[in-house]
């Protein structure tokens, strides 16, 4: 497991505004898109490419293009949907699958309620989108599903993560090819299993349902 904390000043600045409880949903959504695009730049450093011959206005040359099979973006519904536009903006040729996993607030365990993914993920590079890595249950379940269906390597993009979630992912993925890209590692989890200082409930804040 590889971990990359993208502590660029622009990322830290945008995260600060994102954390502020007075930031309204429209601004929150825009910031999430911007942050995901910045984090995706780091997350796609090892995206597979192949050579291609082209003609510039001056001379022929050889460049690269995204290889087939194309990368697969997998937002975890619902909050992960708010990250999809930011990723697709950077990698427009990506394919998209969806998985719905929610945390049981009593047991803190993940519960899967929807899947829309290719059955065969052989040789695929997959990029999982989930704003918060808290206990790690939802992300671990998603990553397990992708590897079990043939994914070659998996990268997760999270806005913030708790140390407990990072350790849980380290145990869950073992020696499989997994990379975690995050904007910040926060202090830890509170008694309710929420990241502190965190962002609050990212899904509620994205879609304007916060009380």
Residues tagged active-site: 103, 107, 201, 204
Query: 155 CB contacts (<8 Å, ≥6 apart)?
Result: 43, 44, 125, 126, 127, 128, 178, 179, 180, 181
DSSP symbol at 175:
T
CA distances to 162, 168, 210 from 165, rounded to whole Å, are 5, 5, 24
Rounded distance between C-alpha atoms, residue 165 and residue 188, angstroms: 9
Alpha carbons 137 and 108: distance in angstroms, whole number: 8
Residue 59: CB atoms within 10 A of its CB come to 6
Give the ranges where the chain is alpha helix by DSSP (H). 9-19, 25-43, 81-90, 137-148, 163-173, 202-207
Using DSSP bridges, classify how beta strands 195-196 and 188-189 pair: parallel, antiparallel or unpaired: antiparallel
């Amino acid at each position: 497991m590889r971990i990359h904390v993208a502590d660029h000043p622009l990322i830290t600045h945008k995260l600060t505004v994102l954390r502020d409880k007075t930031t309204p949903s429209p601004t929150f959504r825009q910031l999430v898109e911007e942050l995901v695009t910045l984090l995706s730049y780091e997350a796609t450093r090892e995206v597979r490419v192949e050579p291609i011959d082209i003609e510039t206005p001056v001379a022929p040359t050889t460049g690269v293009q995204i290889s087939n099979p194309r990368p697969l973006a997998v937002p975890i519904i619902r909050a992960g949907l708010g990250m999809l536009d930011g990723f697709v903006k950077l990698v427009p040729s990506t394919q998209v699958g969806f998985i719905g996993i929610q945390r049981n607030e009593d047991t803190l365990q993940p519960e899967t309620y929807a899947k829309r993914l290719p059955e065969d993920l052989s040789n695929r590079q997959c990029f999982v989108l989930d704003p918060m890595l808290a206990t790690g249950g939802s992300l671990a379940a998603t990553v397990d599903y992708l590897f079990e269906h043939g994914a070659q390597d998996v990268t997760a993009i999270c806005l913030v993560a708790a140390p407990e979630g990072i350790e849980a992912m380290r145990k869950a993925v073992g020696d499989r090819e997994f990379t975690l890209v995050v904007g910040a590692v926060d202090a830890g989890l509170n008694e309710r299993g929420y990241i502190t200082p965190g962002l609050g409930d990212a899904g509620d804040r994205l879609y304007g349902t916060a009380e």
